[in-house]
Structure 1
Amino acid sequence: MSENNQVQEPSLYERLGGEAAVNAAVDVFYGKVLDDYRINRFFEKTDMAKQVEHLKAFMTVAFGGPNQYTGRSLRDGHARLVQKGLSDSHFDAVMEHLGATMQELNVPAELIGEAAALVESVRGEVLGR
């Protein structure tokens, strides 16, 4: 067998459960975020229906699913929030809610770790540095 015929590992998106899993996670996640006094002020003037759809599309792409994301870059999308004081402590709170959401949805620990590493890898972009 040649090297080109190797079986490709399923993406994190597929291993998490695909579209249904991403949709469920985003819905639970934003419930936690909007209940958190540390970060909910950043969403005061946000069209949450639109925001939910953006995050679902972004997470799908980030986790290796089909690319339907047409939003702004992470840096551009968060620039206004950085001007309002978005910092590492806020990013940490978001990471906390992502982990709690995935645990609540019974995602295996190794997949939570993979997802967290992907999100952590964009911290600098989100915080504009």
Structure 2
Amino acid sequence: MKPSAPPTFDEASLTPVVATFYQYNLADDRINRFFKRIDIKALKYMQTRFLTYALNGSGINKKIMSMNHRHLGLQDHHFDAVLENLKKALLDHGVDETQVNPILAAAESTRDSMLGRPSHKTNDD
């Protein structure tokens, strides 16, 4: 039986989704090496906050995101794996497909920053 969908996208409703998301990331051989020696509890907290802000229309500091991920050498296929895992976690928690797409779009909007590429938009950097 699937858990019920989060009624709103606040921290409390996103916390279990993020927990499942990181279970998938840690089990995913395409990307799990990036999570070695990382405080997963802190990372889950930051990811939950990021999603909460992104889904509620708050700005995301993409410069800080870029600085924090630059040393990892992430490529598009790594980012794609993360998006796949996020989608799977959202669906596992009963988030409706019509709600999944805006969430993935919010995550996708950080691709260039996460991969250390120049951003095409500067108004939210």
TM-score > 0.5, shorter chain as reference: yes
Q: After the TM superposition, which segments of 4 or more aligned residues of structure 1 sit over 6 Å from their partners? A: none
Separation of aligned partners in 2, 1:126 and 1:15: 29
Q: TM-score, normalised by structure 2?
A: 0.80
Separation of aligned partners in 1, 2:9 and 2:110: 23
**Residue 20 of structure 2 corresponds to residue 28 of structure 1:** yes
Structure number, greater radius of gyration: 1
AA aligned opposite 2:15: N
**Residue 45 of structure 2 corresponds to residue 53 of structure 1:** yes
Q: How far off its partner does 1:80 sit?
A: 1.3
AA aligned opposite 1:39: I
CA contact (8 A) 2:17 2:90 kept: yes
**Residue 34 of structure 2 corresponds to residue 42 of structure 1:** yes
Pairwise CA RMSD: 2.3
Separation of aligned partners in 2, 1:119 and 1:49: 20
Partner of 2:122: none
**Residue 93 of structure 2 corresponds to residue 102 of structure 1:** no
Q: How far off its partner does 1:59 sit?
A: 1.3
**Residue 75 of structure 2 corresponds to residue 75 of structure 1:** no
- For structure 2, which runs of at least 5 residues remain unmatched after alignment? 1-5, 118-125
Q: How far off its partner does 1:54 sit?
A: 1.1
Q: How far off its partner does 1:93 sit?
A: 0.2
- For structure 1, which runs of at least 5 residues remain unmatched after alignment? 1-13
Partner of 2:120: none
CA contact (8 A) 1:18 1:65 kept: no
Change (3 A) 1:117 1:66: closer
CA contact (8 A) 1:16 1:111 kept: no
Q: How far off its partner does 1:15 sit?
A: 5.5
Could you give the per-residue CA deviations for residues 57-111 of structure 1, whole angstroms, max 9, x where no partner exists? 11111111789x99x82101111112xxx10000000000010001101101111
Q: Which has the higher contact order (CA 8 A, sep 6+)?
A: 2
